[in-house]
Amino acid sequence: MSTNACFENIIGLSRTDCECVEDRPVSAGTSASGLYLDELEGLSIRLADTKRDCGESSLWTMMERARENAIADTTSDLLACLSREAAVRRRSGSAIVGDTQKSTASAISLRAGVHGMTIQLAKVKGGTFRVTRIGAAFKTSGTITVHVYDRYGEDPIASYTVNHDANRPTWTTLPLPLDLSMDHRGTDNPRYWFVFEPGADLRAMNTLMNCNCGTGGPTWNIDRPQYQSIQQNGGQLWMQWAMAAGTQGTTIADRESWGTSNTTNGLLLDVEFDCDQVTTICPDVPNYQTDGIQRVIAHAVRFKAGANLITSILSSTAINRYTMTAGEQLDAMRKQYLKEYEARVFEYLCPTIAEEANINRYGDCLVCKDRWGMSRSTIQG
């Protein structure tokens, strides 16, 4: 979720038509919160339009820029403040799903109609699980077609031609990274299958999900998924986000009932995982009318945009009659707007969102810290 998409139209620019200024764009009157920049106490379209005398930017361009910068400032200030009050729930990073340490050992016969790997993800609002490469480890050279299925559709969500060189793991970079959703609102966790139909002579190298080297490696347990407990992660980052196993079956339609195994059937995944912390302060569909936190964020953005707008007026390199006579008044307004902004962001929003009841109100990226600076809750999802 990007910042701009999250806070789109959080405040409007103006709903007032004025003959003395350039025509108001229709978009200027759109406000999800019902708040408008030019209706701040002391501010007006006429005041904002004084900069036009200097041959500077369009009035509406100047106001749009003030709003955009205010959204960015509010987001960065809140996230910086929250970073002192909360900890990340899961560490971001990249990893290889599957172990190649024993990939040169005995070959695995592929006797079923469909072979591959299944991966179940934790439910993480704001989380992204991205596949960048697919690895193949087989005893012969050639290509296979890897189909990716979710747990709902009859057709694959993606298909890739994957190269394999004899007796060594070979990687195929995907044309575009495959982003797998982690935000499911049903009872089931997101689950995906990476599968292929082996030819008659195709044999896989002995690639394993768990190297069996005593490190508490990957396990498959529907009742107690490894991503729910740090103790089960064995030091591998991807296990905080998912569990995976090899799998095989006769027909893809029955994939939910297939068994799981330690062997990956010759497949490996290169993955990246992250969590967009903006979701901590903004839900998918913000309600600025009834959600108290979102309402205060809208007011904060408006005060910051007002301060930005006045800064833009005062920083003009050209002399302006209004700024010459009312510069001190404008600067006082700017300082008052900043004071109102900082009170809402640092005195109310940051400590309120950091509370245990609110830290996961909209997203799943952060957890509370106790007074010793350690996170309070275990990984869930």
pLDDT tens-digit readout, 336-354: 999 999 999 999 999 999 9
DSSP 8-state assignment for residue 36: B
**Domains along the chain with CATH numbers:** 3-88+280-368 (no CATH), 93-277 (2.60.120)
**The amino acid at 109:** S
Output b/e per residue, 167-181; b: 16+ Cβ within 10 A: eebbbbeeeeebebe
Q: According to the model, what pLDDT value does residue 374 have? A: 47
pLDDT tens figures, 278-330 = 999 998 889 999 999 999 999 999 999 999 999 988 876 555 555 555 678 88
Q: Tell me the C-alpha distance between 78 and 215, whole Å.
A: 39
- pTM score, whole prediction: 0.83
Q: Which long-range contacts (CB under 8 A, 24 or more apart) does 151-155 make?
A: 151/188, 151/190, 151/191, 151/192, 151/256, 154/253
Strands 114-121 and 142-150: unpaired
* Distance from the first to the final alpha carbon of the chain: 20
The stretches of 315-347 forming alpha helices (DSSP H) are 321-342
Q: Running along the chain, 381 residues long, what does each successive block of 10 average in pLDDT?
A: 70 82 83 95 72 60 94 97 92 89 71 95 94 95 97 94 94 97 83 94 87 66 85 71 95 95 94 94 91 97 96 69 66 95 97 94 89 50 64
Alpha-carbon distance of 306 to 308, in angstroms, equals: 5
292-314 helix and 321-342 helix, angle to the nearest 10 degrees: 150
Note the pLDDT of residue 1: 43
Residue 55's alpha-carbon distances to 19, 49, 177, 247, 319, in angstroms, are 19, 11, 46, 68, 11
**Rounded-to-integer distance, Cα 41 and Cα 303, Å:** 10
